[in-house]
Each structure stands twice: as structure tokens, then as C-alpha cells.
Structure 1
Amino acid sequence: MIEPTRRDSRRLTFLVLAAGTGFFSMLQSLITPVLPTIQHDLHTSQNTVTWVLTAYLLSASIFTPVLGRVGDMVGKERMLVVSLAALALGCLLAAIAPSIGVLIAARVVQGVGGAVFPLSFGIIRDEFPAARVSSAVAAISAIVAAGGGLGVVLAGPIVATLGYRWLFWIPLVVVGLTALAAHRFVPESPIRTPGRINWAATLLLSGWLVALLLPISKGAAWGWTSGRVTGSLVLAGVLLVSWLLAEARSANPLIDLRMMRLPGVWTTNLVALLYGGSMFAVYAFLPQFVQIPTSAGYGFGASVTQAGLLMLPMLVAMFVAGLAAGRMQARFGAKALLAAGAVCNVFASAMLTVAHDTRWEIGVAGGLVGLGIGLAFASMANLIVASVPPGQTGVATGMNANIRTIGGAIGAAVVSGVITAHPQASGLPREAGFTMGFLVLTGIALAAAMAALIVPSGRRPAVRGQRGERSPRHAEPELTGELATAGR
């Protein structure tokens, strides 16, 4: 009678985690296609409205690893509820925002919800039997990936039918109910990592992330050789070195640098950096490409809704691949799936470079991108989870997500600079700019595929005697295998 109850509890837990991660991921991309609508409605400039994205990116980059670490310390379920509540509050503020300033502040609050990624992976590791951890992590990763694609697809129809504020009202209802469900159904964390928050390290981490991501996000508007960009990048370097020194000397590091040096961690993070660079750039510029009016000599003149529908093959492929990744990993291994996902991205970017004149070519290339994302997201998460002790799952997966975001910001900025370097007299980018941009993406994707080859295949040491071992209530015969890896 006990086991069915525990299975039901796991199903509820998984549904809660899936809803939380899916809607946070969707909010990352839901706004991108409708920035011109928001700019017009709130009577602001193009430069200012981009802060709706920048503020969200900066906030999530700070809170994702920090709250992941706090969750490892005080309880993942508790911090999951906090993160979801913050996400819901941010949605409410954004839905009623009377000005661009309030909307930007609301997006900062929403960024706190980024912690749902590491907390969800940590809860899965704590609560699920070892035989199901890989498939559950892969499924959540698929939902994360599909959420980003779904945002691009749904933005147009929602805005056309209900208005852009419903991009926040709908997530508010779902995320609010998810927070209540998390409090009610997600079990308390059985594994805690004693310690305290190193506030100096937290401030330094926040400082170098902001100083790095801000000029990358605003470089095109500020000018890449301007004093603001170069000064911010120099400051980021100084703060990064200071943070590394502070963490190395701390008895209670926010992020254990020894963990970050583990072969399975640093190699996977390198792939995440490069893969993020190619993936986010495709998210940003492929919809833009198909919306270019045919009068420019290329493009399809698609509306926001039509552009979203052209991205549908990408969405379907990434979701199906992510769901299948768990079973595929059991047979081929996470490293093989990561490499395969990166190779799919290489082919997709190469295809866009030489063949982008018809809708079916865009659909096939988008499907390859989605296939690669579905495989890569699942395998990256599993490689990180399998490489670190249970007590460091939250901070390790949080940093992996963060590094992927940093790569995305860098990749999008680089490709944006290439595409817009030599515009037409009308102000629209030239087709050659997009072609060169897709070629750059091919190079980044190829580098990610090569980096995937150096990721360790993983190993399966015994459970006994390892630090961060499960609590007695989880000491079951089923809990063997990957979950035992303690990342020595």
C-alpha cells in the first residue's frame, strides 16, 4: 500500500516541476516577438524596450545559482515555492504595468523564478528512484526546451486575439496554482548541505555577471568600442578574479570551485557555453528572417503568428527528442546524445547558410535545431547531475543554466553585429548579412560538437561511504547507479 502512494506522489511532484520550469522557459521567449507592440503601447523607445529582455536576463543570471545554493542548504521545496511565488508576482506586476519602468521592474522580479531549473533537478535527484532519474531529468529538460519554442509560437496568436498583457495573465494563473501545488505536494528535501550564505561572494558573483551581460546585451546600441562597453568588460574581469579568489579562500563558498573543476562539470559547461551561443541566436534571428518583407529581395513577409507557425517543426522536434532522450541515454550514454545534439545543430546552421529560400527549408532546418536542443538539454542536465554530490545538485545545475545563458547572450550579440553590419538603404539587413550570420552559427555549433567529444562518459561507483549520501528513508536497493556518483 505504501509504494503506490509514493508513485502517485512522484507523479504529482513531476507535474508541478514540469509546470514551473515550462512556464518560466516560455516567459523567456514569449516577449521577444512582440517588443514592437509593447514599445508602441507604452510609448517608449526601441532602446528602452529592449530592457524588458535585458532585465529578465540579468535577474535570472544572478538568482539562478544563488537560490540553487540556498535550496541545497535550507530545502529545495521551500525555495521552489519562493521562486514560483516570485514568478507569479512578476507576472501580475507585468500584466498591470502602466509604464515601461514598472514592466522592467516586473521582469526583474520574474527573473527570480530562474531558480526553478536547478531546484527541480535537485528535487528529482532527491525524490526519484535511481532508475528513473535520467528519464525524469530528460523529460524536464525537454519541457524547458519546448517552453522556449512554445513562447515564440504562441506569442502572435495571443497578442492578436487578447492583447500583449495576456502574455502575463495566463502564466500568472498557472504559476500561481503551481506554487500552491508545490507547497502542498512536493516533499521536503531529505538532503541538506550545511553552511551559510557567503554574502561577499554573492555580491561579487552578481557584480561580474551584470558587468559582463549588460555590455553584451547593449553593445549594438552603445557601440562595441564605446567606453561603456570596454569599461564594463574590464570591470567584469576584475570582479570575476575577485570572486574566484573569495570563493577559493571561503570556508563556506557559494559555489565550490573544486566542483566546477570536475571533468564532467567543466567540459559540460564548455559545451553549454558554445551551444547556448548557437541556440539562442537561432531563436532570436530565424523568426526575424522570415518576417523580412519580400520587397527586400529575400524573406517571406510573415506576420508574428506566421513566423511562430514556421517555428513549429522546431518545437515538435525538441519536445519529442527530449522525451526520448531518457531511454536513448540508457542505451547510448549521455555523452553520445550530447554530441549528436551538437552535430544536429551544425547541420541545421549549415543548411540555413546555403538554403533558406523556401518555407520547407526553414522548416527542415528548424526541425534539426529542435532535435539537437532536445537531445543536448537532456544530456547536459544528466551529465551535471551525475557528476556532483547530491548536496551540490542545485548550484551545479544552476551554474550550467547560467553559463548557457551567458553563451546565448554572447552568440546573439555577435550574430546581431554580423547581420546588421551593412544594412540596405531601407534600413533592413541584407541577405548577405543573414548568410554570414548563419555561417558564424555553423562555426559556433561545430566548436560545441568538438567540445562534446572531450566530455567524460561517466562512471558508476558504489554508494557506500560517500559524502552527501541519501538519508535513511531513501536507502533502498533501487537507489544505485548514476545517482551514486559523488564527483570526487
Structure 2
Amino acid sequence: MAREAGLRSRRATFAVLVAGLCSYSLLQSMVIPVLPALQEELGTTQADITWVLTANLLAASVATPIAGRLGDMFGKRRMFVAVLTALSLGCLLSALAGALPLMIVGRVLQGIGGGVIPLGYSIVRDEFPDASVPSAIGALSSLIAVGSGAGLVIAGPIDETLGLPWLFWLPMVVGAVAALFAFLVVPESQVRTPGRVNLPAALLLSGWLVCVLLAVSRGTVWGWGSPRVLGLLAGAAVLLVAWIAVETRSAVPLIDMRMMRLRAVWTANLVAFLVGLTVFAAFAFIPQFLQTSPEAGYGFGASIGEVGLAMLPQTLAGFAAGLCSGGLVRRFGARNVVTVGTLLAAIAYGLVTVAHDQYWHLQVAFVIMGAGMGTTQASMATVVVSAVPRTQTGAMSGMNANIRTIGGAIGSAVMATVVTASAPVPGGLPTESGYVTGFGMLTVGMLACAAATRAIPGTGRRRRAPVGSGEVAATPLAPLPNDP
């Protein structure tokens, strides 16, 4: 009876986590296809409307690692409810926004919802049996990828049938319901990290993240050699050095630098950066390629809805691969699974580079791309979670997600520079060669990522380390060796 009650409790907890993570991941991508419509609705310029994306990116980059750490300290359920409440309030403001400033405020609050990713992983690790954790984390990771892909699929139909505000009303309802049920059914973790909030470290972390992401996300608008961009990059370097120094000397660090030096953690972060570098860039430019009129010599003249349908196979393949990742990791090891996933993604980008004249060419590439990325992202989450003590799960998985975001911002900016540089006139339509060069660059980047995965430590002999000792918590979940 107790076993059945525990199983029901875990199922309810997992359902709540799924709802919360999906509401956030949908918001990450649903706005991208409808930016021109939002620009017209809000009466703003093409340059200014991109702040709808930039503001959300900046807020998520700051909130994700900090929310994970606060969850380790004060309770995962409490923070999960808090970030979902912020997300729901942000959706409300964006749905009611009649001008750009209020929309941006709403998007900032939605970005705080990024904390659901490390908090969700932490709740799974605390509440689920060790043998079930890899599969559960793999499923959550695949759902995050599915939500991002599904946002591109459903944005057009929602806009056409219900109107733009419903892009925010629907996630608001899902987020609010998830927050309520999280409060009611998710157990509060008894695993806590003692200490207080390291405010100087939090401010320095926020400072360098904002500087670097603002510089790379606005570089194509302001100019890469402009004083603003160069100043932000210089400021990011100074603040990063200061942040590392503060964290290293602190008795209660926000992000424990000892954990960051573990081989499993730093290699996972390197791979996450390279994955973000390629995946985000592809997400940003594949829709543009599909929407380009064939009169330009390439493209398919697809509508927003048709773009979503074209990318649906990728979403489904990613979901299926993510669900299978837990079993694959147990059978073949995380390193081998991640290597295969990144190689599949490299093959997909290579196919897009050389074969994009027919619709079915892209469909084949999208399926391979989805399978590769679904496998990789789900397995990488398991690597990080299993490599650190339970008291560090939120902070370390938050930083891993954040490093992927930084890579994505840089990759998107570089891709934009490469593609738009091919336009015959500034601001004009890019040529096909620009896309070919861009996707060729992504292919090389993913091959480099595949090479980097071989540095991830393989399965080693398990041993049990005391929680909070700074060593790898070696349980059946955590076969990775303590190899700093």
C-alpha cells in the first residue's frame, strides 16, 4: 500500500514538473515566428521588437543558476512555485500589453521562469528512486526540447485562430495551475545546503552574464566594433574574474567552484556550450530559410503555420529520443550516448548544407537533427546531476543550462553575421551561399562538440561519498568518478 501511494505521489509530482517546464519552454520559442505581427501590434520598430527576445534571454540567464542555488538552500518546491508564479504574472502582463515597455517587463518575468529547469531536475533527484532518475530526467529534458519545437509549430495557428494575446494566456493558465498543484502535491525536499545568500556573488554573476549576453545579442544591431559592444565585453571579462575570485574565497559560495572543477562537470559545460552554439542558431535561421520566397533562388515561401508543420518531425524525433536516453545511458554509458547524439546532429547539419532544394531533403535532416539533439540534451542533464552531491544539484544544473544559453546567444549572433553578410545590399535578402556557409559552420561546430564529448569521464567504480563533502555522490545514479 505504501509503495502504491509513493508511486502515485511520484506520478503526480512528475506531471506537475512536466506542466511547469513545458509552459516555460513554449514561451521561449512561440514568440519567434510572430515577431513581425507583434511589431505591428505594438507599433514599434524592427530593431526595438527584438528586445522582446533579448529581455527574456537576459532574465533567464540570471534567474536560472540563482533559482537553482536558492532551491538547494531554501527548498526546491518553494522556489519552483515562486518562479512559476513570476512566469504566470509575466504572461498576464504580456497578454495585456498595448505598448513595448510593458511587453518587455512581462518577458523579463517570464525569463525568471527559467529556474524551473534546475529545480525540476533537483526535485526528481530528491524524490525519485535512484534507478528511476536517469529516465525521469531524460524525459523532462526531451519535453523541454519538445516544448521549444512545439512553440514554433503552434504559434501560427494560435495567432490565426485566437489572436496574439493567447500566445501568453495559454502558458499563463498552464503555469498557474502547475504552481498551484506544485504547492499541493510536490513534497518539500529535506536536502538543504546550509548558509546564506551570497549577495556580492549574485550581483557579480548577474553583471557578467548581462554584459556578455547583451553584447552578443545586440552586436549585429549596434556593430561588433562599436564602443557599446566592446565596453560590454570588457566589463564582462572584469566582472567574471571578480566573480570567480569572490566565489573561490567565500565560505558560502553561490556557485561552488570546486564542483565546477570536477571533470564530469566542466566537460558537460563545454559540451553544453557547443550544443547551444549550434542548436540555437539553427532554430533561429531554419524558419527564415523556409519562409524565403523561391524567387530568391532558394526557400519555399512557407507561412508561419507551414514552418511549424515542417519542423514537427524534428520535435517528435527529439521527444522519442529523449524518452529512450535513460535506458541508453544505463546500457552504453552517458559519454557514448552523447557522442552518438552529437554526431547525428552534425550529419543533419551537413545534409542541410549540401541538400536543401527539395522539401524531403530537409525533412530527413530534421528527423536526424531531432534524434541527435533529443538524445544529447537528455543525456547531458544526467551527466551533470549524477556528478555532484544532492546539495549542489540545482546550482550545477542551473549553470549548465545557463552555459548552453550563452553558447546559443553567441551562435545565433555569429550565424546572423555570416548569413546577412551575403546580402547584396545592407538589410537586403541574404543569398543562398550565406545559408550554405552558415550551416557548414554549424556542421563543423557540432563535429567539434562530438570530439569534446570524449573528454567526459566514462563509467567508473562507484563509491559512496558523504553528502556535502564536495565529492561525487556515488549512488546507482552516479557512476561518474570524482576526477577534478
Structure 1 match to 2:129: 129
Contact 2:458 2:480 in 1 (8 A): no
Q: How far 1:443 sits from its partner (Å)?
A: 1.2
Please give the alpha-carbon distance, in whole angstroms, between the structure 2 residues aligned to 1:293 and 1:266: 43
Structure 2 match to 1:63: 63
Structure 1 match to 2:250: 250
Contact 1:460 1:481 in 2 (8 A): no
Structure 1 match to 2:349: 349
Q: Deviations over 1:259-296 (max 9, x none)?
A: 00100000010000001111111111001100001111
Q: Deviations over 1:79-128 (max 9, x none)?
A: 00001111111111110012111000100011111110000100100000
Please give the alpha-carbon distance, in whole angstroms, between the structure 2 residues aligned to 1:189 and 1:482: 18
Distance 1:73 1:293, change over 3 A: same
Letter in 1 for 2:476: G
Q: How far 1:345 sits from its partner (Å)?
A: 1.1
Please give the alpha-carbon distance, in whole angstroms, between the structure 1 residues aligned to 2:41 and 2:466: 61
Please give the alpha-carbon distance, in whole angstroms, between the structure 2 residues aligned to 1:106 and 1:460: 48
Please give the alpha-carbon distance, in whole angstroms, between the structure 2 residues aligned to 1:308 and 1:37: 16
Letter in 2 for 1:356: H
After superposition, where does 1:10-159 map in structure 2 within 5 Å?
10-159=10-159
Distance 1:361 1:306, change over 3 A: same
Structure 2 match to 1:218: 218
Letter in 2 for 1:453: R
Structure 2 match to 1:290: 290
Q: How far 1:484 sits from its partner (Å)?
A: 7.8
Please give the alpha-carbon distance, in whole angstroms, between the structure 1 residues aligned to 2:114 and 2:469: 25
After superposition, where does 1:142-181 map in structure 2 within 5 Å?
142-181=142-181
Distance 1:127 1:304, change over 3 A: same
Q: How far 1:485 sits from its partner (Å)?
A: 6.6
Structure 2 match to 1:274: 274
Q: How far 1:366 sits from its partner (Å)?
A: 1.1
Structure 1 match to 2:434: 433
Distance 1:4 1:468, change over 3 A: farther
Structure 2 match to 1:481: 476
Structure 2 unpaired stretches of 5+: none
SS at match of 1:196: coil
Please give the alpha-carbon distance, in whole angstroms, between the structure 1 residues aligned to 2:347 and 2:414: 20
Contact 1:77 1:182 in 2 (8 A): yes
Letter in 2 for 1:99: A
Contact 2:63 2:115 in 1 (8 A): yes
Q: How far 1:190 sits from its partner (Å)?
A: 1.6
Please give the alpha-carbon distance, in whole angstroms, between the structure 2 residues aligned to 1:198 and 1:330: 37
Distance 1:406 1:35, change over 3 A: same
Please give the alpha-carbon distance, in whole angstroms, between the structure 2 residues aligned to 1:73 and 1:486: 25
Q: How far 1:461 sits from its partner (Å)?
A: 2.5
Q: Deviations over 1:291-337 (max 9, x none)?
A: 00111111000001111111011101000000111111111111111
**Identity over the aligned pairs, expressed in percent?**
51
Count residues with an aligned counterpart: 479
SS at match of 1:482: coil
Please give the alpha-carbon distance, in whole angstroms, between the structure 1 residues aligned to 2:183 and 2:32: 31
Q: Deviations over 1:220-257 (max 9, x none)?
A: 10011111111110110001001011111111110001
SS at match of 1:311: helix
Contact 2:459 2:481 in 1 (8 A): no
Please give the alpha-carbon distance, in whole angstroms, between the structure 1 residues aligned to 2:399 and 2:355: 36
Letter in 2 for 1:434: Y
Q: Deviations over 1:198-232 (max 9, x none)?
A: 10010000000000000100011001111111111
Please give the alpha-carbon distance, in whole angstroms, between the structure 1 residues aligned to 2:242 and 2:192: 28
Q: How far 1:459 sits from its partner (Å)?
A: 3.2
Letter in 2 for 1:430: T
Structure 2 match to 1:473: none
Structure 1 match to 2:206: 206
Contact 1:390 1:486 in 2 (8 A): no
Structure 1 unpaired stretches of 5+: 470-478
Deviates more, 1:322-331 or 1:451-460: 451-460
Contact 2:196 2:252 in 1 (8 A): yes
Structure 2 match to 1:230: 230
Q: TM-score under structure 2 normalisation?
A: 0.97
Please give the alpha-carbon distance, in whole angstroms, between the structure 2 residues aligned to 1:369 and 1:12: 32
Please give the alpha-carbon distance, in whole angstroms, between the structure 2 residues aligned to 1:467 and 1:461: 17
Distance 1:84 1:460, change over 3 A: farther
Contact 2:318 2:373 in 1 (8 A): yes
Letter in 2 for 1:86: A
Please give the alpha-carbon distance, in whole angstroms, between the structure 2 residues aligned to 1:386 and 1:459: 12
Contact 2:55 2:104 in 1 (8 A): yes
Letter in 1 for 2:458: S
Structure 2 match to 1:404: 404
Structure 2 match to 1:335: 335
What is the root-mean-square deviation in Å for CA atoms of aligned residues?
A: 1.5
Structure 2 match to 1:476: none
Q: How far 1:388 sits from its partner (Å)?
A: 0.3
Please give the alpha-carbon distance, in whole angstroms, between the structure 1 residues aligned to 2:305 and 2:391: 44
